[in-house]
Amino acid sequence: MAEPGGRPAAAAPDLAGWTVIITRPEQQAAIWAQAVRARGGTALVRPLIEVVPRPAAQLAPALADLARYDAVVATSANALRVLAQVVGACSGAAEGGRTLAPLCYTVGEATARAAVRLGFRAECPPAGEGGTAEALAEWLALQWAGGPAKRVLFLAGQLAGDRLPEVLRAAGHPVDVLVCYDTRPVAVNLAEWREWLRRSDVAVVLFSPSAARSLAAQCGTDWAGSTGSADHRGRPERAAVVCLGPTTAAACQTVGLPVDGVAHCPDVDAVLDVVVRLTRA
């Protein structure tokens, strides 16, 4: 039997003694909390943002007209989860085992799995070649080089950057953007968070730039200045901050948050492996 991400259920308790704060929305956090506990850690689910779907009436027409696109691109599983709520009302819905066309290209394996659950055939760059919207766009431009132009539907949130459409359009591929959801900060228990942030046996996992901005806006960054002192193990006397990928890490640096580790791919085990390395530092 395997835990989320393919780790054996009997894995060594390499997170024993550590608390890992999962900051993504509740409905997405269960698999992460389970993985932390399987590795001996204490998991706390404390969302910093919420995903608010756009009205189904805005999304259904594009789904019903998927046949006009050569490719769908998704950099967030949230967009695919939102679409899953309205796909049953569309003529191209994946009911009875039918597959949605066209092929859906995603930023990583977790998003690819969400696409497959929705009914798409999905593909993502090999490990180490994706992980960001820009990397995905550059990989697609390379894959499609020398062939006919692809008409692309980009599934996004309202905070998605323009880089992916820009790269693909520059390569000759027209892109339509379908905004599927809005991201809003979730109010936190400030006293609770300030206590955690000053502990050296806590790791905070940030999954998006919006989560980084929410943390900095609500909890400030004064706690990050504890880097000059260390506990008896040599760890800074503050929580460790681990980012899902380089885009989130860049957002942390912009708002003044520390970055102690960045996963090489947006995968459960890859993120927790970074936390483990910090516990052994």
Give the pLDDT of the chain (281 residues) as one tens digit per residue: 344 444 444 566 899 999 999 999 888 899 999 999 999 999 999 999 999 999 999 998 888 888 899 999 999 888 998 988 876 544 444 444 455 668 999 988 888 988 998 888 999 998 767 678 899 999 999 999 999 999 999 999 998 889 999 999 999 999 999 999 999 999 999 999 999 999 999 999 999 999 999 999 999 999 987 544 444 455 678 999 999 989 899 999 999 999 999 998 888 999 999 999 998 87
In 3-state terms, what secondary structure has residue 80?
helix
Task: Give the integer Cα–Cα distance in Å for 8 and 39.
Answer: 10
pTM: 0.81
**How many other C-beta atoms lie within 10 A of the C-beta of residue 253?**
12
Pairing of strands 175-185, 19-22: unpaired
List of domains in the chain: 4-48+186-238+251-279 (3.40.50.10090), 52-182 (3.40.50.10090)
- Copy the structure tokens of residue 93: 């819905």
Question: Are 271 and 242 contacting, i.e. CB atoms less than 8 angstroms apart?
Answer: yes
Phi, psi dihedrals of residue 76, rounded to the nearest 5°: -140, 130
Give burial (CB, 10 Å; 0-12/13-18/19+) of 55.
Answer: exposed
Beta-bridge mates of residue 42: 19
